[in-house]
Amino acid sequence: MAEILVVDDSKVMREMLIACLRGQDDLAFAQASSGLEAIEQLSLRPFDLVLLDLNMPDIGGIEVVEFIRSQDRLRSVPIIIVTTRGDETSRERALSAGATRYLTKPFTPEVIQSEVAAALGHAAPRS
Amino acid sequence: MPTGVDLQEFVSGFLLEAEEHLHAVNRNLVAATEALARGRPEPRAVRELFRSLHTIKGLASMVGAEPIAELSHEMEGILRAADRAGGQVSERALDLLLQGTRALEERIHAISQRGIAAIPAAPRSLIDALALEQSAHARPGGGGAIELELPDELARNLAAADREQLAQAVESGRRAVVVEFQPSPERAARGLNIAAVRSRLAAIGELVKVVPRASTSAPTGIAFGLVLVTDADDAVLAEAVDSTPAAILPIRATRARAARAPEVIATDAEREPTSGPGAEPGAEPGIDPVPMDHSIRVDVRRLDDALERLSELVVTRFKLARIAGELGARGVDVRELTQTLAEHARQLKRLRAAITEARMIPLADLLQRLPLVVRGLTRDTHKSVDVSIHTGTAEVDKAVADRIFPAILHLVRNAVDHAIEPREERRRTGKPETGSLRIDCDDSSGTSLLLTVRDDGRGIDREAVARKLGEPVARSDDELLQQITRPGLSTREDVTRSSGRGMGMDIVRRVVEMLGGAMSLQTAAGQGTTFRLRVPVSVTIVDVFSFAAGDQVFVAPVAMVDEILEIEPSRLVEAPAPQRDGPVARLVQRRGTSIPLLTLTGVLGSAVIGSVPPKALVVQQDRGAIAFGVDRMLGQQEVVVRPLDDALVRVPGVTGATDLGDGRPTLVLDLLTLGATVLQAKAGGA
């Protein structure tokens, strides 16, 4: 069982993401509606994968990635950015900050499914 | 792999969220407009505008609402530029954002009415203007560099807009602080997480930024620094983060500007020295309840569902009462039962009131965007209008709100376009240059609202109205109201930008009458016009089929209709014992069984028409299905049902009357009761 933290300030968007992935075997989901909540949840217990929006209140997704990558304990968790920002600058900033993959909205269910499967396959198994 | 995911299922969720964000957009546009008038940027409003539009854009692209995604994308571009400039927005940019917001609202509305396919394209000229404004706005820099004394990890995370917000606050004498919150499993278990802390602090100050950081003293190795402008003292702040005043660090800010000597504004002199370093964070149990926003969003249809369930309960209660009556008639002592039933009835009534109340929205929320509308209307004109809205705490049912808002909007547009004079003309006639438009609401009656829209403009020109209609000049305001609400009348030959579209005064009156309300007019040449609209606080809205039977039009609730049956003459069976005067003329075959086919004209007492109706509405009764013959189905719509108050016209099977928009009453039929009445009569007669 892999546990995914879905981070987006839009409830509908979180629901869409989870709906796209729900059919997959052995996935469990937790949600966070801001980058701060995401960091808090990650500090309290481990996750296998983070799906992360970029534009959120208080701190944006790139700051969240930078922070996660600066923490020894969290450094290896895969992070897939799921964002409406399609520009190259945002993509480069996110990837150089340490995001694993960068997806833009709108996405199709197939794309998100294969990205998640790939990210979980590459991730080190959780102890 | 088959995905089986249809993102179209999320359209209604998208609409709900988009509406909420548009609400925030309107609120923040007002704040940004006021900030522009004051000459001080409002970086926070700009940020929130950006975020709302960005979320709308992302969701719209997911559900395939391209024009909305495109519009919000261009609007977002302007706001990104403004954010980089420390929250400065030009008047031109605000106007474009305002137009963009209207265009978004129209499209959201179109989706909710007619589905995602019906969405109009984004207006080209507006898209181009928005794009142009972005490049025009690409100049950085706000009001001078701001020096902030902060730990590095905090300082590098603050954007220009954050710095501006901090500098403004300390310049106006408020405190800027960083408060540290350390999350822990134990605190999380008590519900004290970052989201809760955030809303606690937002309640006692302005939150500028929250930054996560590594902390060796924190239980999880991670802490949050919440940067805040506040008037609260350290003890209150410390309590909010479940810590001691040691968790609070003041911020000094200086603005380096040639015209002003750098000055240190905030000092840490007021810092409490009493905090012992030994105080263990999170040691004190039993914290206060977390102050949070207690509102949730509910699709109004769910509340309608709840009301529907409630009506079922009411039916059951009537059955119980009838049984109690029968028992009583047989000599059983039912006093206690009767008392309990009476108590039950009161409880049902209170439950109904509670659900109805959940549908209420504050009138202030409904009308908050009117100042923006007026601003849009007076742009490029020689008019100034001061809008004041006095609604107090009045609330109104969502169903009434949706219907009455366009009417108020029309009155406001009329006032700005036609009634209030240009500045020059007002000055000549000795009036203040700025016109006044005032909206009041009196909800003291409890069951109805009295809305007043009053302007100090030139008054309605009776002669012009009369000329236009080719009728005598109205002798009273009432007569004048009748004249101006005649369909199609416009007192102006040259159609102005905004009066050319939208609805006329006839529609305003129609809306008010549909709601079962009333309106009145008072106007004086050169002094102004006042419209008074009295509307009920809540109404019953029902989704109905409308149809013609005989030469009459009726409506019946969709929920009651099991099926609309096409009648093939071959499926008709003459009733075994035809009743000459009775309504049951025939039986019709449906899924292998024969069900009675009634004609409505027969049921309602007129003569039975011999011809075979082409269609029938089938309702499912306890004792089987019944079909009601229909000559023509006219459509499906939501209507406001007005109860029939007059006992003389009360007929079993008729719930009330409604207005389908033609100004004439149409009967709302309760087909279940109608059917039951007929079958009972038949059983009794047999």
How far apart are the CA of A92 and the nearest CA of chain B, in angstroms? 19
Where is average pLDDT lowest: A37-46, B113-122, B169-178, B575-584? B575-584
Does A16 contact B7 at a Cβ distance shorter than 8 Å?
A: yes
* B221 touching A (Cβ < 8 Å): yes
- Residue in chain A lying closest to B194 (CA): A37
A36, A105, A113 ranked by CB distance to B61: nearest: A105
pLDDT interval class at B611 (50, 70, 90): low
Nearest to B307 by CA among B363, B358, B343: B358
Q: In this structure, how many other beta carbons lie within 10 angstroms of the beta carbon of residue B390?
A: 13
Query: CA-CA distance, B304 to B315, in Å (whole number)?
Result: 17
- The length of chain A is 127
Q: What is the pLDDT of residues B135-151, one digit of tens each?
A: 665 444 444 556 777 77
* β-strand pairing of B632-643 with B654-659: antiparallel
Predicted confidence (pLDDT) at residue B665 exceeds the cutoff of 60: yes
Residue B429, H or E segment: none
Phi-psi region of B4 (alpha: psi -120 to 50; beta: other; left: phi over 0): left
Chain B residues lying within 8 Å of A107, measured CB to CB? 62
Does B5 contact A11 at a Cβ distance shorter than 8 Å?
A: no
Residue B368 burial (C-beta neighbours within 10 Å; 0-12, 13-18, 19+): middle
CB A72 within 8 A of CB A59: no
pLDDT recorded at residue B194: 92
Residue B572, H or E segment: strand B572-574
Query: Which is more confidently placed, B4 or B111?
Result: B111
Residue written as tokens 């200086």? B254
Where is average pLDDT lowest: B266-270, B330-334, B344-348, B628-632? B266-270
Percent of chain A whose pLDDT exceeds 90: 54
Question: What separation in angstroms does the CA of B474 have from each of A66, B477, B491, B525?
Answer: 74, 7, 14, 14
- Residue in chain A lying closest to B62 (CA): A106
Mean pLDDT of all residues in B503-510: 77
Kindly state the DSSP code that residue B257 receives in the 8-state scheme. B
CB B682 within 8 A of CB B662: no
Does A12 contact B58 at a Cβ distance shorter than 8 Å?
A: no
Half-sphere exposure of B147 (CA within 13 A, CB side): 11
- CA angle at residue B646 from B642 to B649, to 5 degrees? 95
Which residues 6+ apart lie within 8 Å of B268 measured at CB? B250
Residue A32, H or E segment: strand A27-32
- Residue in chain A lying closest to B213 (CA): A67
Does A10 contact B17 at a Cβ distance shorter than 8 Å?
A: yes
- Residue in chain B lying closest to A44 (CA): B185
* A103 touching B (Cβ < 8 Å): no
SS3 A99: coil
Chain A residues lying within 8 Å of B61, measured CB to CB? 84, 105-106
Question: What separation in angstroms does the CA of B336 have from each of B332, B333, B341, B342?
Answer: 11, 8, 9, 10
Q: Which two tokens stand for residue B326?
A: 């029968």
**Contacts across the A-B interface (CB distance below 8 Å):** 109
pLDDT interval class at B402 (50, 70, 90): confident
Sign of CA dihedral A95, A99, A101, A104: negative
Sign of CA dihedral B195, B199, B200, B205: positive
Question: What separation in angstroms does the CA of B246 have from each of B179, B181, B215, B241?
Answer: 9, 11, 14, 11
Where is average pLDDT lowest: B199-203, B326-330, B340-344, B652-656? B652-656
A34, A59, A105 ranked by CB distance to B62: nearest: A105
SS3 B176: strand
Nearest to B209 by CA among A10, A75, A83, A63: A63
Query: CA-CA distance, B279 to B283, in Å (whole number)?
Result: 8
pLDDT recorded at residue B170: 77
Choose the mutation target among A13, A25, A36 for the interface with B, i.e. most B CBs under 10 Å. A36
Predicted confidence (pLDDT) at residue B278 exceeds the cutoff of 70: no
Predicted confidence (pLDDT) at residue A122 exceeds the cutoff of 60: no
Predicted confidence (pLDDT) at residue B287 exceeds the cutoff of 50: no
Q: What is the pLDDT of residues A16-57, one digit of tens each?
A: 999 999 877 789 999 999 999 999 999 988 999 999 999 887
Query: CA-CA distance, B236 to B242, in Å (whole number)?
Result: 10
pLDDT recorded at residue A78: 94
Residue written as tokens 């991670």? B222
Where is average pLDDT lowest: A10-19, B110-119, B529-538? B110-119
B5, B57, B222 ranked by CB distance to A43: nearest: B222
> One-letter amino acid identity for B338?
T
Is it true that the peptide bond before A109 is cis, omega within 30 degrees of 0? no
What ipTM does this complex have? 0.83
- Residue in chain A lying closest to B209 (CA): A58
pLDDT recorded at residue B269: 31
Instruction: Answer whether 0.90 is exceeded by the pTM.
Output: no
Does B221 contact A71 at a Cβ distance shorter than 8 Å?
A: yes
Mean pLDDT of all residues in B96-107: 92
> One-letter amino acid identity for A45?
R
How far apart are the CA of B73 and the nearest CA of chain A, in angstroms? 10
Which residues 6+ apart lie within 8 Å of B317 measured at CB? B341, B344, B345, B348
Percent of chain B whose pLDDT exceeds 70: 82
pLDDT recorded at residue B265: 28
Q: Which two tokens stand for residue B127?
A: 């898209």
Query: CA-CA distance, B67 to B100, in Å (whole number)?
Result: 11
Predicted confidence (pLDDT) at residue B169 exceeds the cutoff of 90: no
pLDDT recorded at residue B686: 42
pLDDT interval class at B498 (50, 70, 90): very low
- Residue in chain B lying closest to A83 (CA): B58
pLDDT interval class at B685 (50, 70, 90): very low
pLDDT recorded at residue A8: 94
Mean pLDDT of all residues in B617-633: 84
Mean pLDDT of all residues in B468-485: 89
Kindly state the DSSP code that residue B416 receives in the 8-state scheme. I
pLDDT recorded at residue B429: 92
Residue B229 bridge partners (DSSP):
B176, B206
Percent of chain A whose pLDDT exceeds 70: 95
Does B4 contact A56 at a Cβ distance shorter than 8 Å?
A: no
E strands in B363-481 = 384-390, 395-397, 434-442, 448-455
Mean pLDDT of all residues in B601-628: 74
Does B224 contact A36 at a Cβ distance shorter than 8 Å?
A: yes
pLDDT recorded at residue B263: 31
Question: What separation in angstroms does the CA of B628 have from each of B52, B243, B558, B634, B673?
Answer: 50, 72, 14, 15, 12
pLDDT interval class at B359 (50, 70, 90): confident
Chain A residues lying within 8 Å of B10, measured CB to CB? 12, 15-16, 19
Q: What is the pLDDT of residues B420-450, one digit of tens each?
A: 999 999 999 999 999 999 999 988 877 789 9
SS3 B43: helix
* B158 touching A (Cβ < 8 Å): no
How far apart are the CA of A32 and the nearest CA of chain B, in angstroms? 10
* A101 touching B (Cβ < 8 Å): no
pLDDT recorded at residue B455: 95
SS3 B586: strand
Query: CA-CA distance, A27 to A3, in Å (whole number)?
Result: 6
CB B381 within 8 A of CB B435: no
pLDDT interval class at B260 (50, 70, 90): very low
* A87 touching B (Cβ < 8 Å): no
Mean pLDDT of chain B: 79
pLDDT recorded at residue B529: 94
E strands in B495-539 = 518-524, 528-536
Does A44 contact B195 at a Cβ distance shorter than 8 Å?
A: no
Torsion over CA of B207, B209, B212 and B214, rounded to 10 degrees? -100
Q: What DSSP assignment string belongs to B187-228?
A: HHHTT--HHHHHHHHHHHEEEEEEEEEE-TTSTTSEEEEEEE
Predicted confidence (pLDDT) at residue B33 exceeds the cutoff of 60: yes
Predicted confidence (pLDDT) at residue B462 exceeds the cutoff of 80: yes
Where is average pLDDT lowest: A121-125, B85-89, B425-429, B570-574? A121-125
Q: What DSSP assignment string belongs to B335-377?
A: HHHHHHHHHHHHHHHHHHHHHHHHTEEEHHHHHTTHHHHHHHH
Query: CA-CA distance, B545 to B161, in Å (whole number)?
Result: 54
B51, B59, B61 ranked by CB distance to A55: nearest: B51
pLDDT interval class at B497 (50, 70, 90): very low
Chain B residues lying within 8 Å of A67, measured CB to CB? 212
pLDDT recorded at residue B182: 92
SS3 B639: strand
- Residue in chain A lying closest to B59 (CA): A13
Question: What separation in angstroms does the CA of B122 have from each of B61, B99, B102, B103?
Answer: 14, 12, 11, 8
How far apart are the CA of B72 and the nearest CA of chain A, in angstroms? 11
How far apart are the CA of A123 and the nearest CA of chain B, in angstroms? 22
pLDDT recorded at residue B144: 53
Predicted confidence (pLDDT) at residue B623 exceeds the cutoff of 80: no
pLDDT winner (highest mean) among B104-118, B159-173, B262-276, B583-597 = B104-118
